[in-house]
Amino acid sequence: MVTDNTPRRPVLTLDDLAQPLTRRPERLHALTAADLSIAFSLGLDLAEGKPIGHAQRVCYIATMLADALDVEPQTRAGVYFGGLLHDAGVTQAAADLCRVAGVDEDTIFGPSPLRIPDDSRADLAFADRSAVLEAVHQHCVLGAETVTSLELPDEAAAAVATHHENWNGGGFPHALSGDAIPLEGRILAIADTAEVLIADHPSSLAARRRFVSAIGAYAGVQLDPALVGQLLELAKSDEFWLGLYSEDMAETLTAMRGTVDTRKSRKRVMRFAEVFADIADAKGGHTAGHSRRTAEGAEQLGQALSLDPGHVEMIRIAALLHDIGLLGVPARVMTKPDILSVTEMQIMRQHPGSSEMVLQDLNGFEEVAQWIARHHERPDGKGYPEMLSGDEIPLEARIIAVADVFSALTAERPHRGPVSRKDAQQILLGAAGTQLDPELVRLFCTLID
C-alpha cells in the first residue's frame, strides 16, 4: 500500500482568515457581449438537452448566411446574438410543466425545431396538451425578454421571438407568414433547422452529401425559400463545412463577430451573471432568488475576512453562477420530494463540473470556474466531485458553500418550509468541520446573528 507523505497545509483558523490574503486572484475583466454570449450559450444547450455547441453552431450558420446576404449591421448583430441565445427562454417556459408532468425538458422541446407542437405524442399523453403547447410557444417570448434584459440589440430579441414562425404561417407564437417575419427571424429559423439536420448525421461527409435534399424539403413551408437557396449556395464551399466543424468554435465566432458590439464592460459581466443566475434558479421553482441570496451571503463573508474589494467582487460573481450547471439537471429531479435514486443523484452531482465547463474558457473566469467546481467539496473529504478535504478546497469555494447552505435552509423546499434564521444557525454549527469549514461557519453566524 502506497502512503502519501506529502505534508498538507493546516486548515486556516479564524484569526488567519481575518487577515488580508497576500494572494490576489484574477481581477474581474471587462468583456464584450459576444464573449459572454458565446460562453453562456453552452448553459442554454444544457437546459434544452441539446448537444453541447448547438447554439454556437447555429450562430455560425446564421452569421455566414447574413454575410452572404450582405445585411445591415444591426440585422447582422441580431442574427449573431439571436443564434447564441435563441433558446434562452426554455427553462422559464418549461420548468413548471416538467415538474408537474414528471418529464425532462428535451421530451418537450426535443432535438429538433422541426417538430410540430400541435402533434400529441405518446410520451406526453399524460400531460395537459394545452400546457405543452403554451410552454413551447412561450419559450420564444420569454427568450426575447431575456435578450432584452441583457441589453442586446432589439434585432436580437426579434430574431429569438420569431425563429419558430413558419414561412407558410403555420408557426408560433404569432402565426406570422412570409415577409411579415423579420429577416433576422427567418435567417435564425434556417440556421436552427440546418444545424439539427447536420448534427443528425454521424459524419461530416454524410451530412454534406444529404444536406441539399434534407433542408430543401422545408423550403416554402417552414423556411423562406429564397434564403434556403442562398444557404445551399454557401454549402457548396469547403470553407463553410470546415468552419462548421472547427475544433474551437468559440474562437471562430469571436473572429466572426466583426463590428458586433465590441465594447468591453465590467457592468455587463455582472448583468449576464445575474440574469443567468435567475435562469438557473428558475429550474427548481422553489429556488427563485437562491443564487442572489447566496451571492449576498458570500459577499458579506468575504468582506468580513477583509479580502480586497476586487477579490470580493469575484466571489460574488462565482456565487451568482455556482448553480449554472443545474441547467443540465431535469426539473423533475431538482424538485423530487423523495430520496433521489442512484441515477438521479449521479445526474445531480454532475452540475459543478457542468458549471465549470460553461465558464472555464471565459477570459478572467478561470479561477471562478475552479471555485464553482469545488463548492460541494467538504472538509471531511466526503464531498464531490473530487472528494477534496480541508485546505485542499479553495477558500472561495468554502465561502460559497456556507452561504449556499444558509440560503437553501432559509428558503422553502419541496419537502419542507423555510427554516428560521436561529434554527439555520444551529444547523450550520452542526455541519461545521464535516460539511462546512468550521471557522467560516463561526464567522458567518456572527454576521447573521
168: in domain: yes
Instruction: Say what the pLDDT of residue 117 is.
Output: 46
Under a CB-based contact definition with an 8 Å cutoff, are residues 322 and 375 in contact?
yes
Average pLDDT, integer, range 363-391: 95
Domain boundary among 194, 225, 256: 256
Average pLDDT, integer, range 196-212: 92
Q: Are residues 89 and 226 in the same domain?
A: yes
Average pLDDT, integer, range 346-372: 94
Q: Could you tell me the sign of the dihedral formed by the alpha carbons of 416, 422, 428, 429, in that order?
A: negative
Taking alpha carbons only, the member of 102, 74, 80 closest to residue 33 is 80
Q: Are residues 382 and 249 in the same domain?
A: no
Instruction: Say what the pLDDT of residue 105 is.
Output: 72
**Cα distances (angstroms) measured from residue 100 to each of 110, 132, 331:** 18, 11, 9
Taking alpha carbons only, the member of 150, 180, 152, 146 closest to residue 79 is 152
Q: Are residues 224 and 332 in the same domain?
A: no
Q: Are residues 279 and 242 in the same domain?
A: no
Residue 391 DSSP symbol: G
Instruction: Say what the pLDDT of residue 333 is.
Output: 84
Under a CB-based contact definition with an 8 Å cutoff, are residues 391 and 11 in contact?
yes
Instruction: Say what the pLDDT of residue 8 is.
Output: 39
Q: How confident is the model at residue 10 (pLDDT cuts 50, 70, 90)?
A: very low
Q: How confident is the model at residue 49 (pLDDT cuts 50, 70, 90)?
A: confident
Q: Are residues 338 and 305 in the same domain?
A: yes
Q: Are residues 100 and 148 in the same domain?
A: yes
Q: How confident is the model at residue 26 (pLDDT cuts 50, 70, 90)?
A: low
Instruction: Say what the pLDDT of residue 92 is.
Output: 85
Under a CB-based contact definition with an 8 Å cutoff, are residues 380 and 388 in contact?
no
**Cα distances (angstroms) measured from residue 121 to each of 8, 90, 110, 128:** 57, 19, 11, 12
**Cα distances (angstroms) measured from residue 235 to each of 65, 256, 337, 444:** 10, 18, 50, 59
Instruction: Say what the pLDDT of residue 136 is.
Output: 79
Most confident of 96-110, 133-147, 218-232, 285-299: 218-232
Q: Are residues 174 and 274 in the same domain?
A: no
pTM here is: 0.89
Helix (H) / strand (E) containing 250: helix 249-256
Q: Are residues 200 and 299 in the same domain?
A: no
Instruction: Say what the pLDDT of residue 417 is.
Output: 73
421: in domain: yes
How many domains are there within the chain?
A: 2
Q: Are residues 247 and 275 in the same domain?
A: no
Instruction: Say what the pLDDT of residue 252 is.
Output: 96
Domain boundary among 256, 285, 310: 256
Q: Which residues, 6+ apart, have CB-to-CB distance to 150 below 8 Å?
A: 33, 85, 271, 272, 275
The residue behind cell 402533434 is 119
Of all residues in the chain, the percent with pLDDT exceeding 90 is 70
* CATH code of 436's domain: 1.10.3210.10
The residue behind cell 497576500 is 22
Q: Are residues 180 and 290 in the same domain?
A: no
- Long-range contacts from 379-385, C-beta under 8 angstroms, 24+ separation: 379/11, 379/433, 379/434, 379/435, 379/436, 379/437, 379/438, 380/433, 380/434, 380/435, 382/434, 383/435, 384/349, 384/352, 385/349, 385/352, 385/353
Average pLDDT, integer, range 40-64: 95
Domain boundary among 231, 256, 281: 256
pLDDT surpassing 80 at residue 13: no
Q: What is the mean pLDDT of the chain?
A: 88
Q: How confident is the model at residue 3 (pLDDT cuts 50, 70, 90)?
A: very low
Q: How confident is the model at residue 11 (pLDDT cuts 50, 70, 90)?
A: very low
pLDDT surpassing 90 at residue 115: no
Residue type, 441: V
pLDDT surpassing 90 at residue 71: yes
Q: Are residues 282 and 173 in the same domain?
A: no
Q: Which residue has the higher pLDDT, 129 or 239?
A: 239
HEC string for 300-359: HHHHHCCCCHHHHHHHHHHHHCCCHHHHHCCHHHHCCCCCCCHHHHHHHCCHHHHHHHHH
391: in domain: yes
13: in domain: no
241: in domain: yes
6: in domain: no
pLDDT surpassing 50 at residue 120: no
Taking alpha carbons only, the member of 329, 318, 298, 309 closest to residue 360 is 318
The residue behind cell 405543452 is 132
Taking alpha carbons only, the member of 58, 28, 64 closest to residue 41 is 58
Instruction: Say what the pLDDT of residue 286 is.
Output: 62
Beta bridge partners of 219: 223
Instruction: Say what the pLDDT of residue 21 is.
Output: 44
Q: How confident is the model at residue 53 (pLDDT cuts 50, 70, 90)?
A: very high
Instruction: Say what the pLDDT of residue 20 is.
Output: 41
pLDDT surpassing 80 at residue 95: no
Q: Which residues, 6+ apart, have CB-to-CB distance to 109 below 8 Å?
A: 48, 49, 87, 90, 94, 136, 139
Alpha-carbon distance of 52 to 217, in angstroms, equals 26
7: in domain: no
12: in domain: no
Average pLDDT, integer, range 292-317: 96
Q: Are residues 224 and 342 in the same domain?
A: no
The half-sphere exposure of 436 on its side-chain side, counting CA atoms within 13 A, is 24
Beta bridge partners of 416: 413
Residue type, 449: D
Instruction: Say what the pLDDT of residue 258 is.
Output: 85
Cell digits of residue 237: 464551399
Domain assignment of residue 41, given as a range: 33-256
